[in-house]
Chains A and B, each alone.
Chain A
Amino acid sequence: MSILVNKDTKVIVQGFTGKEGSFHAEQCIAYGTKVVGGVTPNKGGTVHLGQPVFNTVSEAVKVTGATVSMIFVPPAFVGDAVMEAAEAGIELAVIITEGAPVKDMQAAKAYATKKNMLTIGPNCPGIITAEECKIGIMPGSIFKKGNVGLISKSGTLTYEGANQVCNAGFGITTAVGIGGDPIIGLSYKQLLPLFEADPQTKAIVLIGEIGGDLEIQAAAFIKENITKPVVAFIAGQTAPAGKRMGHAGAIISGSAGTAAEKMAALTAAGVHVVISPADIGKKVAEVLGKK
């Protein structure tokens, strides 16, 4: 078992024939992901990486039956691409592109919600169900099958965490990089119950960062709803307070978003918080019992 994606998930790629899209789609196919086609306007009817290319997402969905789209289009076109996917009936859009304008994501996210499409990202490594389906840019080889779910804001810390879990003799069910942009799709609070409900997942690793209050919300949610052990690390304990012009952002969230604040909230919720990311694997082994 796993969450959201598995070996049967049919995936299309928006921005399929571009440099980044091509390179990573090829890696995903090599990992075993069912990439059934792609979309690049004006290249419809051609074949790329052995799969059909379509002009529109709607056409691609109709022909291939894809439910998930992996988005690699350039930043200025991300909003448009997400809305096109939502309109076409895609169920989950995984947005890899970095640098999408916030205003565009505001509109795209609102429209996706209206159309009941889930989103992951933008500016994230994607989602991977170990040894079944990789939709993103993570190095697939480090994700061994196992019973630990992983949710991370940071891309490279996703790899670091998964690698340690696997080196400690355990493995991953599904790992999700949620991204750290101001507006993101699925967050801890929506993913935690999926891992709680997944019988294969026995423990959850939560990796956060300074800024915003998603981890604080996660802590409150864990306290009330999650029975499985959670191991957490918050990056940025030693980061200096940023020089900012205004303080409006902190006033809105009602919290300064410091690492200390988040670590305290998670600890109070019964989460096993590690001070260094080098201890993630060790802590997972501790809560699951040494192998």
Chain B
Amino acid sequence: MNVHEYQAKQIFAKYGVPVPRGFIANTVDEAVANAEKLGGKIWVVKAQIHAGGRGLGGGVKLAKSIDEVRVLAQEILGMTLVTHQTGPEGKLVQKVYIEEGADIADELYLGIVLDRAKEMPVIMASTEGGMAIEDVAHNTPEKIIKVAIDPTIGFQGFHGRSLAFALGFSKEEQGKFIKFAAALYKVYMENDAEMIEINPLVKTGSGEFLALDGKMGFDDSALGRHPDIEAMRDITEEDADEREAGEFGLSYISLDGEIGCMVNGAGLAMGTMDTINYMGGTPANFLDVGGKANAETVAKGFEIILKNKNVKAIFVNIFGGIVRCDRIANGILEATKLVDVKVPVIVRLDGTNAPEAIEILNNANMANVIAASDLGDGAKKAVAAAKGVIR
């Protein structure tokens, strides 16, 4: 789960990671009131969406008067912001964060993420802040400093010093930076974060470090023990169909093709999409029914797949391990009662209770259900059905 910048900064502040003062606004009037509350002469109006690259996309602007705050808030609230991380369809801006301006002397990058190979968190820092870090990594990888932290010993002084020396800080700066990094590591560990990114981390004219931006993602498996973070979930940032599927234990991602897929297990689901593609067809979605599939979830799966009007055929591909094929077969019967399935449905059932399942389907004698003997056969039939060759 991801949170907005303003929420990440609220968490930072709780742990003593310095952030600029700011207030969140849902309307233009709130934005203006927030600017007045902050006082000062310069404000930053920042679009709050779950994606990076907001500045380049026109979602972060500087205001030098209260009137300008009003104009910019009007402009940004309700705009569809397109960045390199939103995809071409962009994201609707529903909130703006009004922040006091900062006196920027230098821009840095600081992030924490799990290093899967080392199996421990790694702190990444760079003097090249304020630009796309993936470009820095690509063009000048030597400018990204990485220090892995063994969680069994936690963040120690030497970790901080090795970062601070590599970044070329003066003696006074070192102390402040190490304190900053130590606090951020604590934020990461105590909240079961998956990643933290501050870009830019700025050094102010008076030599203080300040998180000018903040991105945080959390380990979904650990949200149960962080109700305060779970409460920060912004469901408007999530795809409605994907979320609805999730409520039924289904994992769904919409794609551009014509063949709807219902599969158990993420690996087989991807493998099924790959096979459809290999046979000359195009998958309309990724759908993993998970290990607890029953009649209700299968019916829901059909409903979600058929919301996509491009779907010309559906391929149900189940290799039953924990999932019992007879339950899936009953689910298909149930689904056709609840949802009007007009397209051909190609069904391949193998594994646990497959013979019973095939009998259930045969006895039901449904007009648009086509049986397949294996994965390759099923994909071939689905491609043919989508092209109208068989029905």
- Measured CB to CB, the residues of A under 8 A from B are 75-76, 98-104, 106-107, 109-110, 125, 137-139, 142, 152-157, 159-160, 163-164, 180, 182-183, 207, 209-210, 212-213, 233, 235-240, 243-253, 259, 275-279
Contacts and interface: CB of A to CB of B under 8 A. Distances in A.
A21 to B, nearest CB: 13
A251 B195 CA distance: 12
Contacts of A106: 114, 119-120, 151
Contacts of B359: none
Given A243-B51, A248-B113, A137 B322 contact: yes
Interface centre among B51, B219, B221 (most CB of A within 10 A): B221
A168 B115 CA distance: 40
A153 B320 CA distance: 17
A290 B319 CA distance: 25
Interface string B367-386: 00000001110010000000
Nearest to A123: B221
A209 B267 contact: yes
B122 A235 contact: no
Given A154-B268, A157-B265, A163-B350, A246 B197 contact: yes
B274 A238 contact: yes
Nearest to B189: A103
Contacts of B265: 154-157
18 contacts: A75-B221, A102-B194, A102-B221, A139-B351, A142-B351, A154-B265, A155-B321, A156-B268, A163-B319, A209-B270, A210-B270, A235-B271, A236-B274, A239-B270, A240-B253, A249-B116, A253-B116, A278-B379
Nearest to A242: B253
Nearest to A247: B134
A160 B268 contact: yes
B151 A245 contact: no
Contacts of A237: 270, 274, 277
A248 B265 CA distance: 27
Interface of B: 2, 50-52, 85-87, 111, 113-117, 119-120, 122, 124, 133-134, 137, 144, 146, 150-152, 189, 192, 194-195, 197, 215, 217, 219, 221-222, 224-225, 253, 255, 263-268, 270-271, 273-279, 283, 286, 291, 319-322, 350-352, 374-376, 379
Contact of A251 (B86, B137, B376): B137
Contacts of A76: 224-225
Contact of A239 (B137, B273, B291, B322): B273
B222 A279 contact: no
Chain B contact surface mostly: mixed
B270 A236 contact: yes
Among B134, B195, B268, max chain A CB count under 10 A is at: B268
Nearest to A210: B270
B335 to A, nearest CB: 21
Q: Would you list the 5 A-B pairs with minimal beta carbon distance, nearest first?
A: A154-B267, A156-B265, A278-B376, A156-B268, A101-B222
Given A239-B273, A243-B85, A249 B268 contact: no
Contacts, number: 188
B270 A235 contact: yes
Contacts of A212: 116
A152 B271 CA distance: 13
Nearest to B122: A252
Contact of B375 (A75, A239, A245, A278): A278
A250 B85 CA distance: 14
Nearest to A122: B221
Which of A153, A155, A157, A245 has the most C-beta atoms of chain B within 10 angstroms of its own C-beta?
A245
Contacts of B274: 235-238, 259, 275-277
A101 to B, nearest CB: 4
Given A180-B266, A246-B52, A246-B197, A277 B116 contact: no
Given A245-B215, A276-B376, A138 B321 contact: yes
Given A163-B350, A243-B85, A245-B217, 5 more contacts: A107-B151, A153-B267, A243-B86, A251-B133, A253-B117
A109 to B, nearest CB: 6
A107 B352 CA distance: 36
A109 B267 contact: no
A248 B188 CA distance: 14
Contacts of B279: 276
A235 B87 CA distance: 23
Nearest to A256: B134
Contact of B321 (A156, A213, A248, A279): A156
Nearest to A163: B350
B134 A157 contact: no
Given A101-B219, A160-B375, A139 B119 contact: no
A224 to B, nearest CB: 18
Contacts of B255: 238, 240
Contacts of B144: 251
A152 B266 CA distance: 12
Contacts of B352: 139
A103 B222 contact: yes
B12 to A, nearest CB: 16
A59 to B, nearest CB: 27
A69 to B, nearest CB: 20
A102 B275 contact: no
A246 B195 contact: yes
B275 A277 contact: yes
Contacts of A180: 266-267
B117 A213 contact: yes
Contacts of B283: 238
Contacts of B192: 101-103
B124 A159 contact: no
Contacts of A153: 267
B117 A248 contact: no
A277 to B, nearest CB: 4
A125 B275 contact: no
A191 to B, nearest CB: 17
